[in-house]
Amino acid sequence: MKPRRRFEFERHPKSDADPRRYAGMKTYRGYPELMEQRLVFPLAGYSLVVHKVNHRIFEKKDWWRGMITPMNYLLHYCIAGRNALVEEGREVDYRPGRLFLIDRERLFWYRRGVAAFENFCLIFDVEEAAASDAEETVHLVEAPRLCVDLRPPRRRELETEIFGIVAAMHDRPPSYELRVREHVLGVLTRCMDWGVFRIVDHRRDGATRHWHHRLWVKRAARFVAARYREPISLREIGAAVGVSPSHLNKLFKAHTGKSLNRYVNEFRVQQAKALMFGGVTNMTEIALAVGFADPSYFSKRFRKSTGQSPRAFLRRIGGK
């Protein structure tokens, strides 16, 4: 394997404007985001859509860095250094050769006071292939584990693809976009071949008898993600999905283990955590921003979801 090429890093350009989020983060000179263009890879019956690619260095700091996964999936690979990643209460070593797949809408953070590290991140999703509601196919990403340790031969293969993306985006040679597409697809197909994740067609694969139930649950979750800042009723969600509220609530609980009202409250609490990690400390401001009209009710729901008050959580992550 050829020696790894070195690239010039600098402080993130937003470090001074938003130190809670960006301090200690280094990016390529002139490229805060390595790639933000949307890449679509049509496959049999569905499409893999890549939204963003990042390659960054995180310096050792005395606070936790927390993020919430968007309505997509995050593929993380640790290139160098070491840290600890905490995701929904689970803590695992973040070390070289370890590949993570973090599910959508999940809160995760890196430990404070642990060594600096360098990582690669690819944000992607799966588009549903649908001609009409009657023929719609449900595609979901399933991962057997949070992380996978790659053996040296596979590490070399993956890092060859990763640094192929980096070199193409950095140098911008003729037809560099084709090279980027080739290497990004190489990362995704290798991860699927190695069992890091798989795409499930719940109608064709027979993973569930009533595939359209999964579709309704997915639509309800998307409606909540789009409207959580506003007052939401079960009737509104049912109308948006096209199912009676009581039947939708029953299906949602059967597939997720929680009622729709509980899901809405827990989703808002997750968003509140993300705001706290971003440096917002005013509880009333946070409550209103995530859809709770009453700060005291927000505090009650936060405690029920996390086992601690919002203030205690803020102190835990290094806020005031």
Identify residue 309 by its one-letter amino acid code: S
320 vs 52, more confident: 52
**pLDDT at residue 207 in the model:** 45
pTM: 0.66
Which range is least confidently modeled, 55-59, 102-106, 176-180?
A: 102-106
**143 shares a domain with 23:** yes
The pLDDT of residue 24 is above 60 = no
Confidence at 112, pLDDT banded by 50, 70, 90: low
Give a yes or no: residue 183 inside a domain: yes
**132 shares a domain with 218:** no
pLDDT in tens, 207-239: 444 556 777 888 888 889 888 999 999 999 988
Give a yes or no: residue 305 inside a domain: yes
Per-residue DSSP letter, 106: -
CA separation for the pair 49, 70 (Å, rounded): 14
Choosing from 152, 176, 201, the residue where a domain stops is: 201
Sign, Cα dihedral of 195, 197, 203, 207: positive
Give a yes or no: residue 77 inside a domain: yes
Choosing from 201, 221, 244, the residue where a domain stops is: 201
**232 shares a domain with 117:** no
C-beta atoms surrounding 158 within 10 Å: 21
Q: Which tokens is 165 given?
A: 């993306």
**246 shares a domain with 168:** no
CA separation for the pair 61, 299 (Å, rounded): 29
Residue among 190, 158, 183, 186 at smallest CA distance from 34: 183
Domain count, the chain: 2
Taking residues 173-178, what's their average pLDDT?
Answer: 83
**54 shares a domain with 195:** yes
**222 shares a domain with 108:** no
Residue 298 backbone phi and psi in degrees, to 5: -60, -45
Q: Residue 66's domain is classified under what CATH number?
A: 2.60.120.10
Per-residue DSSP letter, 160: H
Domain boundaries, position 69: 9-201
**148 shares a domain with 216:** no
Confidence at 157, pLDDT banded by 50, 70, 90: very high
**175 shares a domain with 227:** no
Q: Which tokens is 179 given?
A: 């090279």
Give a yes or no: residue 269 inside a domain: yes
C-beta atoms surrounding 141 within 10 Å: 18
**26 shares a domain with 168:** yes
Choosing from 179, 201, 223, the residue where a domain stops is: 201
Taking residues 121-148, what's their average pLDDT?
Answer: 64
Taking residues 166-190, what's their average pLDDT?
Answer: 85
Confidence at 309, pLDDT banded by 50, 70, 90: very high
Residue 9 backbone phi and psi in degrees, to 5: -105, 160
The pLDDT of residue 295 is above 60 = yes
C-beta atoms surrounding 75 within 10 Å: 22
Which range is least confidently modeled, 20-29, 98-107, 218-227?
A: 20-29
CA separation for the pair 189, 183 (Å, rounded): 10
* Terminal-residue alpha carbon distance, the chain: 49
**242 shares a domain with 195:** no
pLDDT in tens, 25-75: 655 554 545 566 778 888 766 778 888 888 877 776 544 556 655 567 888
The pLDDT of residue 130 is above 60 = no
Which range is least confidently modeled, 173-177, 181-185, 244-248?
A: 173-177
153 vs 279, more confident: 153
pLDDT in tens, 254-269: 888 889 999 999 999 9
User: For the chain, percent helix, then strand, then coil, each to nearest 5?
Assistant: 40, 25, 35
